[in-house]
């Protein structure tokens, strides 16, 4: 894929699409494309995370760390951003990602992402605003679940 193809592809990723074409151009130029074979592990639960991965082709199984008692295995594919939080802050991988088929990913390092935000303050503001909306929606969703559980328990 060309740089312009990568930019167009990344525009369709909800978080990345907030950034705008100029900021995405920086990410497309500075990122690294990796080909992953079926059965290969992209990252392991419990490892420090220093990058996010955009799945361009193929699919991955995400198996949460069993020590956390987290949710079941899920499958993700084309157009997904893995490790979104790792783009912005130091974190640990919560799951192991294994390629279910031959795959292509774009690796965006945290260093590159943060430098891009420094150089594109409008993109940083749009990202902040988008994350704020998502955070508010998550809080409303949690309140809805809490209310439904309370009602089911007869505490309404």
Task: Give me the domains of the chain, ranges plus CATH numbers.
Answer: 3-152 (2.60.120.10)
pLDDT of residue 135: 84
pLDDT of residue 140: 85
pLDDT of residue 69: 54
User: Which residues of the chain fall below pLDDT 50?
Assistant: none
Q: Max alpha carbon distance in the chain (Å)?
A: 58
Q: Which helix (H) or strand (E) holds 99?
A: strand 95-99
Distance CA 38, CA 31 (A): 22
pLDDT of residue 155: 62
pLDDT of residue 148: 85
Q: How many other C-beta atoms are found inside a 10 Å radius of the C-beta of residue 54?
A: 25
Question: How confident is the model over 135-155, as pLDDT tens digits?
Answer: 888 888 888 888 888 888 876
């Amino acid at each position: 894929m060309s740089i312009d193809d990568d930019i167009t592809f990344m525009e369709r990723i909800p978080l990345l699409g907030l950034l705008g074409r100029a900021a995405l151009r920086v990410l497309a130029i500075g990122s690294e494309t990796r080909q992953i074979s079926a059965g290969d592990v992209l990252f392991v639960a419990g490892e420090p995370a220093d990058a996010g991965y955009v799945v361009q082709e193929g699919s991955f199984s995400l198996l949460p760390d069993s020590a956390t008692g987290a949710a079941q295995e899920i499958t993700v594919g084309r157009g997904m951003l893995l490790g979104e939080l790792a783009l912005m802050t130091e974190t640990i991988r919560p799951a192991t990602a294994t390629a279910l088929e031959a795959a292509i990913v774009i690796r965006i390092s945290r260093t590159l992402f943060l430098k891009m935000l420094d150089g594109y303050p409008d993109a940083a503001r749009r990202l902040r605003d988008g994350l704020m909306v998502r955070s508010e929606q998550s809080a409303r969703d949690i309140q809805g679940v809490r209310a439904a559980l309370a009602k089911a328990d007869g505490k309404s």
